[in-house]
Structure 1
Amino acid sequence: MSISLIEDATLHPLVLPARADAADADEFRELTRVRNEVYRELTGRTEQDLTPEALLPLLRSRRERSTVAWIVRVSGEMVGRAVVDIPHEEGSKVSNASIELHPRAWGRGIGTAILPHLEAVVREHGRTVIQDWTEQQASDGARLEARTGFGSVPDDHVARFLRRHGFTLEQVYRVSRLDLTAGARALAASLFEEAEAHAPGYRVRQWMAPTPPEHRDGYAWLKSRMSTDAPSADLEADEEAWDADRLIAGEARLAEMGQTYQVTVAQHLETGALAAFTELGIGPDRTGTTHQHDTLVLKEHRGHRLGQLVKCAALLSWIDVAPESTDIITYNAEENRPMLAINEAMGFTAIAYEGAWKKDLS
């Protein structure tokens, strides 16, 4: 059932098809096209494009979270979407929500009309906090500083909308790119040797997803620590419960999405425990952009250049895994200076910034 917003704008619950190529999947395929167009308009880049086959698994509810999504139409034309994710972690009071509209639909009050519907879903699930991660267009105008004191975003239409509706800018992420040239490989090799000399009690292990059974528990533990050990400012960060079953399910989604996914870890020789990790992935188009996903060094193993060790080892082997990929994109909190210093040494350069926003409904 559609919901009337303002004038000719309407909100429609998204019904996911069983498959992206099913007979009833036309609306979903159109949603994918519009979603990609919105991201291109917002970022000026294409590396966040997804196929319908890749988007579908991301929107399905799963053991660890429920997803509610809507399609936004103006005079029948699809112009965007709205999404609410409800994590199932024990004791969670947070939800993640976003309104993604094509800029041609901005300025009419559509987002303002949508927001109460998202907040109603959040409250129905007993949550009191909404968080949103939004990348904004580059701008030479006024800037808005994060509450952390590290980084800023343009004080533009997006920022004004969020602030007007009670959101605060808690954290800024730097979006960085590395061009995969011969020089990048030579630099990574040099930095790897340097890191290896500072980490005599560790060795590098690597695998392509799915994770070998003997490493599932250790890798799942690293993933759970990502939610507690990575910088999160004053955002609500649930302690995520990862186990082998959740890991297996997640890697099955990657396979369904057509992702090629590599995990690189540093293993502590004395105990056999996994101490650090990084992930690289690319979609079916091997000429596209590679994404560096989670990277973490456990607190108790810091001080041995393990971040540099795993990131350089990952890059060196990835060039052979996806030789036609021309660049790597990664996101890091601006206050995470140790990781940003590694990126800068490897040749990553900042290309954009993403704001992490929070609204307290209590």
Structure 2
Amino acid sequence: MKIRRLDTTDPDELKQWYAACVASTRVEQPTFVPKPFEEQVRQVLEPELGAERYDLVAVEDGAVLGAVMLYLPMEDNRELVWLVVDVAPAHRRRGVGRALVAAAEADISAERRELVVPARLPADRVEDHPYRRFGEAMGYAVATVSTDRVLRWPVDGSLLDRLAVSPDGYRIESFVDGVPQEYRASLGVLKGLIDVDSPTGDIEWEASPVSPEHYAEELRRHVEAGRRLVESVALDGAGEVVAYSEIVVPSVPERHLTQEGTLVRSDHRGHRLGLAVKVANLQALLDLGVTNPSIRTGNDDANRHMIAINEQLGFVPDVAELIFAKRR
């Protein structure tokens, strides 16, 4: 078995890599619908702005056994690196995962002192699942636990009517495929606080604001991939974005909708703005007429306030996500 970088110029290897990662995910999420192959490859070739991303693969006799994705922030949080490990079911319990993690750790520069590894598993197996034993055997500790929740789509419009709020002194607006230019600076500042202001256990984050230029580039990539971006914002009297919620509509209708960030600026909390922007965003989705089967969101288990809002909206627990971390 050899560990090396994924050959992004080899179509056959890319297909094997994609198949191994999908099969790995479906071990604990059997109904998982992946991104289309072409879209997944595009994300490897064109990673997010302000970050580097590459994959190492375990190869034996021309077959891809598994892979580890390395995601490295390049502008903020430069001490961090995310590792996502996948091993095809047929090749597990052979040391492939251990070899991939060891190779990734050896490939990372010394400035990357915090290594973070996520793992999704059944909510009732948090304490004894093999993924936990694997992480701990590799020297990683559980930094925090979050839970993915799912809302069947479409949601009942009458529920949204009952939950809709209009906080005094604020204006709620919704947009599809991009907010107006005049909102992008303050929205970008708020988006950069999502990991700082939300519970993340033992992992420390720096603010990572999204500039208007980065926002425009992210939007371009969504559109080119056939995705839609639905965003709702709360504006204060000065026209600043002080709360937001966003949902990504995937390029294929079989995939779940993804609830991305929802955040209220700390000095504007206590006015039910979180509920206001989430309800407005779901209403905007209804108006858009999307037919995807569900919306998926995730919250750190310590984020009781946002969990309560999601439960009001009908989200139910699906799978747990352990976030492992190792400091070196």
| Band of TM-score, shorter chain | over 0.9
1:176 maps to 149
**4+ runs deviating over 6 angstroms:** none
Aligned pairs for 1:5-24 (under 5 A) are 9-17=1-9, 24=10
- Residues 329 and 107 of structure 1: CA distance in aligned 2, closer, same or farther (over 3 Å): same
Within the alignment, does 1:36 sit opposite 2:29 as a pair?
A: no
User: Greater CA deviation, 339-348 or 247-256?
Assistant: 247-256
Which of 109, 132, 136 aligns to 1:163? It is: 136
For 1:333, give the aligned amino acid.
D
Partner of 1:21: none
Answer with 285-294 or 335-344: which moved more. 285-294
**Aligned residue among 17, 20, 38 for 1:53:** 38
C-alpha deviation, 1:91, in angstroms: 6.3
1:1-362 matches, cutoff 5 A = 9-17=1-9, 24-47=10-33, 49-59=34-44, 60-61=46-47, 63-90=49-76, 92-122=78-108, 124=109, 126-137=111-122, 139=124, 153-181=126-154, 184-192=156-164, 195-196=165-166, 199-268=167-236, 270-361=237-328
Please tell me whether the aligned partners of residues 84 and 118 of structure 1 are also in contact (alpha carbons under 8 angstroms). Answer: yes
**RMSD, aligned CA:** 1.9
**Distance in 2 (alpha carbons) for counterparts of 1:223 and 1:111:** 33
Could you tell me how far apart the structure 1 residues matched to 2:77 and 2:282 are?
38
Provide the secondary structure at the position in 2 that maps to 1:272. Answer: coil
1:215 is displaced (CA, Å) by 1.8
Q: Size of the alignment, in residue pairs?
A: 327
| Unpaired segments ≥5 residues, structure 1 | 1-8, 18-23, 144-152
C-alpha displacement at 1:213, in angstroms?
Answer: 1.6
Percent identical pairs in the alignment equals: 24
Q: 1:275 to 1:208 in 2, by over 3 A?
A: same
Describe the SS at the equivalent of 1:251.
Answer: helix
Measure, in 2, the Cα distance between the counterparts of 1:91 and 1:225.
12
Alpha-carbon distance in 2 for matches of 1:118, 1:80: 13
**AA aligned opposite 1:215:** Y
* DSSP-derived class of the 2:27 partner: helix
Q: Is the 8 A contact 2:66 2:96 kept in 1?
A: no
- TM, length-normalised to structure 2: 0.93
Residues 1:257 and 1:163: Cα distance change in structure 2 (over 3 Å): same
Q: CA deviation at 1:171?
A: 0.9
**Structure 2: which 5+ runs fail to align?**
none
Contact map agreement 1:66 1:85 (CA 8 A) in 2: yes
> How many Å apart are 1:306 and its aligned residue?
0.7
Counterpart contact for 1:92–1:238, Cα < 8 Å: no
Query: Quick one: distance in 2 between partners of 1:42 and 1:287?
Result: 19
TM-score by length of 1: 0.84
